């Protein structure tokens, strides 16, 4: 990483901090004018103050990970040498021209990071920075193993095969034919391992990239000397999500959680943006997804961010304020940006704001997770305020796109907040937790037994059979009710469509496979290719969405799926009018409760408790949650 240039004056200016002139007013930002240079030349640039609107389409916005702050390189900006992380220096070196100046925007240099007021002001208009950019250029980092070219080629070739089949079929993505041998796509596990390496790059885990990519007109990902349109990454993630049989290809299943995160990011966030010119229209599958006009909510958006990383926890909120669901009826953000406010204060503020907006209020209480009973009891923040940014947060059971309507129409939900501590809601307490199973862990539900933990492997019994056996000791239940509960009646099938026969077929296929895997005897069902009507991965996917939860039996004999680790026997079940799912509450004395989390209860999800209320068989009461 040799440099040349004004070596004699570097010693004088090496330690000087870059001076930032105060920006004139809202609507202005700084651009970095990169001077031309070759790989061996020092990076030189000037900062220019511009109106965001007037600068539209004149610059490129860089999306990148800062990298290790202790590993830096010197760049010359406004004739002053300053330190930037090596990763940013690599990006600037890659994106500058050999012969002409280049206008770019990079947050680490273009925002005075030491000035919290400026930082807050610039974050408020971050969406416009990316909307107005000619294109967004993403830097993933160096490619020391020389695998980027093969990786990108594999993704593009796979998308091309699936896209061509899809366009010829005139059938929706979920009705595309299953993969069967001989496969048209690569089955080389070593090649798919390169895609796994790509998806493990730190950039894919950064919370800010969601907005940066989503608002881009064009977006390319650069990894070393190679690049790919970001549309191909999300197209691939969609095919991975919609083709369950994809998992039968060696090396593919290991990608599922990472592509699943990208799929959810696109569905819940990217597809909601209203920018007219977008990379989202360039490939058929993601274009179809964007045309579906699914309902959304700001809690859904924030849940996507829980799986991503932020240096400042407040950015788990602020990084999404450019989303349409973060706006009130007047088009203003529902919360301001204030990096001086404590993190818990920011989380409380956004939760209170969402509870006052009809588009968010019915769903926000489902975004909770408490690690254990003791943590819930000792927590100083209100139990009803989600701790945004927890990576292990359970998948929510509530979404405006699910058919669940346990509390009736969503527009009937109301809540009031007292003293910023107590949440007061009308509700019906109708049952009590009587039994809880062992925790369902995703890796123990996998078809691949090598992923099971030692306890499950040594038991020589699949998790599914352990759950059935333990449940049978406390409740007599049909296999149909058991499988329907574990699939949670397929909430995404809106309107409600529960195919009992299909559910049982998928369950039996899954059970045959994992039971055979536990046995030393060879079994026909354990074949790696699945030519029948369903694959063991179909029911496996349902079980994965039970991760961190437990089977639950209530005092009145209802079967369900509990919240996470903080639920215990004696907790009560309630329905809140307007909330789509039931909740579990923990009595904490004097008529006050702590909110444990949402749950699934068989025979409750379609509004049956509301019908009992209307028939006078149960009653509403004021529920106070602390």
Alpha-carbon torsion angle 503, 504, 506, 507, nearest 10:
110
Return d(Cα 136, Cα 361) in angstroms, integer: 34
Per residue in 287-298, pLDDT tens? 998 888 778 899
3-state secondary structure of 77: strand
pLDDT of residue 157: 96
Structure tokens at 290: 């964007």
What is the DSSP annotation of 475-502?
----HHHHHHHHTTT-TTSTTT---HHH
The yes-or-no verdict on residue 174 having pLDDT over 90 is: no
What number is the average pLDDT over the span 114-129?
Answer: 93
Model's pTM, two decimal places?
A: 0.88
The yes-or-no verdict on residue 524 having pLDDT over 60 is: no
* More confidently predicted of 449 and 42: 42
pLDDT of residue 521: 37
Return the percentage of the chain with pLDDT > 70, whole number: 93
Return d(Cα 529, Cα 539) in angstroms, integer: 16
Per residue in 435-489, pLDDT tens? 999 999 989 998 888 889 999 988 889 999 999 999 999 999 999 999 999 999 8
Return the percentage of the chain with pLDDT > 90, whole number: 68
- pLDDT category, 284, cuts 50, 70, 90? very high
Task: Using the structure block, give the residue that is written with the tokens 């599922």.
Answer: 256
Return d(Cα 45, Cα 36) in angstroms, integer: 9
In the DSSP assignment, the letter for residue 178 is P
- pLDDT category, 334, cuts 50, 70, 90? very high
The yes-or-no verdict on residue 9 having pLDDT over 50 is: no
Return d(Cα 210, Cα 538) in angstroms, integer: 28
Q: Strands of 135-141's sheet, edge to edge?
A: 80-85, 72-77, 44-51, 28-34, 102-105, 60-64, 135-141, 219-223, 226-229
What number is the average pLDDT over the span 137-153?
Answer: 97
Return d(Cα 363, Cα 99) in angstroms, integer: 53
Return d(Cα 43, Cα 101) in angstroms, integer: 12
Give helix 189-199 / helix 256-268 axis angle, nearest 10°.
50
- pLDDT category, 252, cuts 50, 70, 90? confident
C-alpha closest to that of 362 among 393, 316, 408 = 408
Q: Within 10 A of 353 (CB to CB), how many other CB atoms are there?
A: 19
Separation of first and last alpha carbons in the chain: 56
* More confidently predicted of 336 and 242: 336
Return d(Cα 194, Cα 478) in angstroms, integer: 45
Return d(Cα 413, Cα 358) in angstroms, integer: 8
| Average pLDDT of the chain to the nearest whole number | 89
User: Is 167 buried (19+), middle (13-18) or exposed (0-12) by CB count in 10 A?
Assistant: exposed
The yes-or-no verdict on residue 76 having pLDDT over 70 is: yes
Which residues on neighbouring strands pair with residue 140, listed in sequence order? none
Structure tokens at 70: 């202790």
- Tell me the Ramachandran region of residue 125: left when phi exceeds 0, alpha when psi lies from -120 to 50, beta otherwise: alpha
What number is the average pLDDT over the span 572-590?
Answer: 96
Number of H helices and E strands in the chain, helices first, is 22, 18
* More confidently predicted of 342 and 186: 342
What is the DSSP annotation of 279-325?
GGGSSHHHHHHHHT-----HHHHHHHHTTSB-SSTTHHHHTTTTSGG
3-state secondary structure of 422: strand
CB 613 within 8 A of CB 583: no
Which residues on neighbouring strands pair with residue 594, listed in sequence order? 586
Cα–Cα–Cα angle for 610, 615, 617, rounded to 5 degrees? 85
Cα–Cα–Cα angle for 411, 395, 293, rounded to 5 degrees? 50
In the DSSP assignment, the letter for residue 331 is S
- pLDDT category, 495, cuts 50, 70, 90? low
- pLDDT category, 529, cuts 50, 70, 90? very low
Task: Using the structure block, give the residue that is written with the tokens 């881009």.
Answer: 216
**Contacts for 247 with CB less than 8 Å, ≥ 6 apart:** 253, 256, 447, 535, 537
Q: Within 10 A of 625 (CB to CB), how many other CB atoms are there?
A: 22
Which residues on neighbouring strands pair with residue 291, listed in sequence order? none
CB 249 within 8 A of CB 185: yes
Return d(Cα 126, Cα 121) in angstroms, integer: 9
Per residue in 375-431, pLDDT tens? 898 889 999 999 998 877 777 899 998 999 999 999 999 999 999 899 999 999 999
**Contacts for 431 with CB less than 8 Å, ≥ 6 apart:** 554, 555, 556, 558, 572, 573, 601
CB 625 within 8 A of CB 593: yes
pLDDT of residue 1: 33
pLDDT of residue 253: 66
Alpha-carbon torsion angle 229, 230, 232, 238, nearest 10:
-170
pLDDT of residue 522: 38
- For 64, phi then psi, to 5°, come to -160, 170
Give helix 500-518 / helix 479-486 axis angle, nearest 10°.
90
Return d(Cα 206, Cα 291) in angstroms, integer: 27
Chain mean position to CA 331: 25
């Amino acid at each position: 990483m040799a440099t040349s240039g004004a070596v004699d004056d570097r010693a004088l200016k090496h330690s000087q901090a870059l001076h930032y002139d105060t920006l004139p007013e809202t609507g202005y930002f700084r651009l970095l004018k990169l001077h031309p240079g070759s790989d061996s030349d020092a990076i030189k640039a000037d900062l220019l103050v511009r109106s965001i609107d007037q600068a539209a389409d004149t610059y490129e916005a860089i999306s990148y990970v800062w990298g290790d702050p202790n590993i830096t390189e010197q760049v010359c900006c406004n004739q002053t040498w300053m330190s930037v992380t090596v990763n940013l220096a690599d990006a600037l070196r890659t994106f500058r021209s050999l012969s002409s100046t280049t206008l770019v925007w990079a947050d680490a240099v273009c925002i005075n990071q030491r000035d919290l007021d400026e930082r807050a002001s610039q974050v408020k208009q971050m969406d416009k920075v990316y909307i107005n950019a000619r294109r967004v250029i993403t830097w993933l980092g160096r490619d020391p193993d020389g695998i980027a070219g093969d990786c990108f080629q594999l993704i593009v070739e796979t998308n091309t095969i699936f896209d061509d089949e899809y366009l010829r079929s005139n059938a929706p993505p979920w009705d595309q034919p299953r993969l069967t041998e001989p496969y048209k796509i690569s089955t080389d596990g070593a090649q798919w391992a390169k895609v796994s390496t790509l998806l493990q790059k730190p950039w894919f885990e950064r919370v800010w990239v969601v907005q940066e990519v989503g608002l881009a007109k064009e977006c390319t990902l650069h990894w070393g000397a190679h690049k790919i349109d970001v549309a191909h990454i999300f197209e691939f993630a969609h095919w991975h999500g919609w083709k369950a049989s994809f998992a039968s290809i060696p090396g593919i299943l290991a990608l599922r959680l990472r592509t699943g995160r990208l799929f959810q990011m696109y569905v819940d966030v990217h597809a909601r943006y209203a920018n007219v010119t977008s990379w989202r229209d360039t490939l058929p599958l993601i274009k179809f997804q964007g045309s579906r006009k699914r309902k959304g909510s700001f809690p859904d958006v924030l849940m996507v961010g829980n799986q991503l990383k932020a240096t400042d926890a407040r950015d788990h909120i602020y990084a999404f304020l450019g989303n349409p669901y973060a706006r009130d009826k007047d088009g203003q953000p529902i919360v301001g940006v204030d990096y001086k406010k404590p993190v818990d204060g920011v989380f409380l503020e956004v939760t209170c704001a969402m509870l006052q907006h009809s588009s968010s209020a019915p769903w926000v209480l489902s975004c909770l997770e408490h690690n254990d009973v003791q943590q819930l009891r000792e927590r100083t923040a209100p139990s009803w305020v989600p701790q945004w940014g927890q990576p292990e947060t359970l998948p929510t059971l509530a979404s405006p796109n699910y058919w669940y309507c346990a509390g009736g129409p969503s527009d009937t939900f109301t809540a009031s907040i007292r003293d910023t501590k107590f949440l007061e809601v009308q509700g019906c307490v109708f049952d009590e937790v009587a039994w809880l199973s062992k925790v369902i862990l995703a890796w123990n539900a996998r078809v691949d037994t090598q992923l099971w933990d030692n306890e499950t492997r040594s038991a020589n019994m699949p998790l599914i059979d352990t759950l059935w056996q333990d449940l049978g000791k406390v409740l007599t239940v049909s296999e149909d009710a058991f499988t329907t509960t574990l699939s949670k009646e397929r909430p995404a099938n809106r309107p409600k469509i529960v195919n009992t026969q299909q559910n049982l077929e998928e369950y039996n296929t899954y059970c045959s496979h994992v039971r055979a895997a536990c046995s030393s005897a060879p079994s026909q069902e354990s074949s790696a290719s699945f030519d029948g009507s369903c694959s063991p991965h179909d029911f496996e996917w349902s079980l994965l969405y039970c991760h961190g939860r437990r089977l639950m039996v209530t005092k009145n004999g209802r079967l369900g799926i509990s919240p996470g680790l903080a639920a215990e026997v004696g907790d009560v079940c309630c329905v809140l009018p307007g909330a789509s799912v039931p909740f579990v509450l923990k009595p904490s004395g004097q008529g006050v409760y702590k909110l444990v989390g949402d749950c699934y209860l068989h025979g409750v999800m379609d509004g049956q408790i509301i019908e009992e209320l209307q028939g006078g068989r149960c009653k509403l009461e004021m529920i106070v949650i602390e």
